[in-house]
Amino acid sequence: MPAAAPPLRITPASPLFLREDEIRRGIELLYFGYTAMIRGADAILEAQGFGRAHHRALYFIARRPGLSVGELIGLLGITKQSLGRVLTELQARDLVEQAIGTTDRRQRLLSLTAAGTALETRLFTELERSMARAYGEAGQQAVTGFWSVLMGLVPPEDRPRVEALQD
């Protein structure tokens, strides 16, 4: 049985939390935390010949089946051309399918196939393991504070789009 992880040791933010060294510490923790969290998913993606853009597309299509191409472009903040390349590859591998919109026939609505759902589930499981461990170590109040900081990083005009994912 693996040894238990040492207790989480967090140096509290100083009252001068807007100083450069405190901001740099937050940036570093975001970088190292994200890198560690995404490592397992990256290995799965690499074995499939995919990258993080494919992962993000799969993730948001799974969150919102029937999402339009335009909505996905908005969520990802990428160009139509960039998304087109990613969707073409995902469709060629039978992971994503498109349907014509019911109210606007120009719309392309996206959903995952069974294979796409299986891949996205594997990727999510890798991320979930890390997030659940970190959340459990930090506690509810810290998680709420973390969410507040992350939402603060989202430009105000994009916040409604992010909040809508919770509906």
Inform me whether the pLDDT recorded for 2 exceeds 60. no
pLDDT for 108-120, tens place per residue? 999 999 999 999 9
| Average pLDDT value for the chain | 91
CB 110 within 8 A of CB 96: yes
Q: What is the pLDDT of residue 60?
A: 96
Topology of domain 33-138 in CATH is: Arc Repressor Mutant, subunit A (1.10.10)
Q: What is the pLDDT of residue 139?
A: 93
CB 57 within 8 A of CB 72: yes
Helix (H) or strand (E) holding 97: strand 96-100
Inform me whether the pLDDT recorded for 166 exceeds 60. yes
pLDDT for 4-39, tens place per residue? 667 777 777 778 778 899 999 999 999 999 999 999
Query: Among candidates 118, 132, 135, which has minimal Cα distance to 44?
Result: 118
Tokens of 31: 């970088």
